[in-house]
Structure 1
């Protein structure tokens, strides 16, 4: 008897290969794929502004990279003792506005430079629900002396954003600072279509791989989550049919329709667990990486396993021989594949 329908993922017509550079951006599920690619020593840059769920903020981030924007004090706001930006994840926030700006601009510079040499852009859309700032009084900039922490309830700190603009992160600000609404398919299409044209002007050879995150946004509600995913799926497939440089990888369908069981979710029943992400990764490697890349990844597996190995006796002769053998194997791989950067691995085994 057959108890599940396995999804047959079609291979990309032009799959990813070494040593192509890959920029990944979007929801937290992006980082599952990005970490695997990074582990296999592909040139990767992940979420330069931090995790983002909605496509509008994602497009704003990419536009900032295209335009090589630099952030200033007027782009910050103060709330809860931290200086933050509505365009960045909370990991960039700091009690010191200068440190916050420094981290944001360093990430922005790196992303702008990386984009101009990237071969692939992997975009994972998480939700079509957005939080838009209501109109109000802008919070003090780092040189200002007005009320600290955005203290006026219902008057959001605009921090360089216009009223009605979607934020990338709410930074735990009061709910009455925002209008919460579901984007239409047309709005998502328009935002993505515009940024794709700008991206192709800056990087003509860029290929884009879309995915929809299988993470369930149940805080919105189960029906609302499904409405959101439907908007994203409709918009993405319209674009993939429009441009020949766009592809779609069915991460969402692999978890929701193929695995289709709560045993593949973490305890929160929202995020896919290790088994699910491993299954999606295996499908990704089989369909999105070329044969030579998969062969090289297989050759790297013993090296990666050796890095994770915890010896019973770190100072013993047997472990020293193991390290010497793995160091020689790493050096041999480096010589065979000069585009790989295995310097850290060689240093680890020979230190």
Structure 2
């Protein structure tokens, strides 16, 4: 008997390669996969606005990069002794407006540069539910623990998501003629919205994404949502909150990303980087032994050779790590 439903993932016709620049934006699952890419030494910029869930807030952030926007004190508000931006995650909040703006505009500058040079924009949409301020109907990317009574909540429509992303992408493709866009829908279940409401939200996102992917040649879809919800399909693959995929599930999705989204030559290189990462995490029983010192010298030489063969790889810190331990 078969107790596990698996399905083939269609490999990308245009693969991700080492040496390319990757801009990742969206939900917390974007950060999970983004950190995996960063760990394996891909050139990544992850969530310059912080975690964003709904596609309109993501589009608003991307538009700010296309506009070259610089945030000012007028863009901030104060709540619970911290200064915050309605467009940004609370990781950018600070005790003074100057500190908040330093955090925001530092990442803004990096994102403005990335939008011109990126080979890939990877968007992970989390929820079709959006929040706006009651006082002025302003869309917010993060509520910053402001009481819920200050916001309207609504389910975005497929049409407005498609229109917002479509308009942004026309500008983006005109500005950056080499960029490809990879869409995913987050498998995180936002049950605070309600189970039925969460499923409806995901359905709206899926319909909008597939409409766009079918419209443009440079758009692709990776089924992270389906891999967790339909392939793994078990609460043992979730954290204790029963909402977020656990490490086992993230690693399973990552394996599929590598297999189906990364080019063959880059896959081989990725496995070499993974081996070196494992070696760096190794904790010896006897650090002073001749055997361990030889282990360190061997991997320092491997890193040196890999850097010579692939100058695009930034591995100086790993080589210094192995040399410093010897």
The two structures have a TM-score, normalised by structure 1, of: 0.91
1:208 match: secondary structure: strand
Equivalent position to 1:324, from 297, 304, 310: 297
- How do residues 266-285 of structure 1 correspond to structure 2 at under 5 angstroms? 266-285=239-258
Q: Deviations over 1:54-83 (max 9, x none)?
A: 001000000011111000010010000000
Partner residue in 1 for 2:133: 133
Q: CA deviation digits over 1:80-127, x for unaligned, max 9?
A: 000000011101101111000111000100111112110000000000
Partner of 1:192: 165
Which of structure 1's runs of 4+ aligned residues deviate more than 6 A? none
Q: CA deviation at 1:292?
A: 0.3
Corresponding residue of 2:236: 263
SS in structure 1 of the partner of residue 149 of structure 2: helix
Could you say what secondary structure the match of 1:116 adopts? Answer: helix
Secondary structure of 1:310's partner?
coil
Is 1:91 the equivalent of 2:64?
A: no
From 294, 306, 319, the equivalent of 1:346 is 319
- Residue 221 (str. 1) matches residue 169 (str. 2): no
Q: 2:60 maps to which residue? A: 60
3-state SS in 2 of match to 1:255: helix
Gaps of 5+ in 2: none
Residue number among 266, 270, 274 corresponding to 1:301 in the alignment: 274
Cα distance in 2, alignment partners of residues 112 and 313 from structure 1? 48
Q: Secondary structure at the residue paired with 2:45?
A: strand
Deviation at 1:306, TM superposition (A): 1.0
1:271 match: secondary structure: coil
1:79 aligns with 2:52: no
Match of 1:29 in 2: 29
Matched with 1:115 is 115
> 1:170 matched to which residue of 2?
143
Deviations 1:12-57 (A, max 9, x none): 1111111111000000000111111111111000000100000010
Q: Which residue of 2 aligns with 1:13?
A: 13
**Which sits farther off after the overlay, 313-322 or 289-298?**
313-322
- Whole-Å Cα distance in 1 between the matches of residues 312 and 78 of structure 2? 44
Is 1:334 aligned with 2:283?
no
Deviation at 1:312, TM superposition (A): 2.2
- Between the aligned partners of 1:338 and 1:79, the Cα distance in structure 2 is 47
Q: Which whole-Å CA distance do the structure 2 matches of 1:131 and 1:285 have between them?
A: 35
Offset of residue 314 of structure 1: 2.9
- What's 1:147 paired with? none
d(CA) in 2 for partners of 1:100, 1:348 = 33
CA distance in structure 2 between the partners assigned to 1:224 and 1:310 by the alignment: 46
* Inter-partner Cα distance in structure 2 for 1:93 and 1:31: 19
Runs of at least 5 residues in structure 1 that lack an aligned partner in the other structure: 136-162
Quote the residue 1:43 is aligned against.
Answer: 43
Corresponding residue to 2:152 among 174, 179, 182? 179
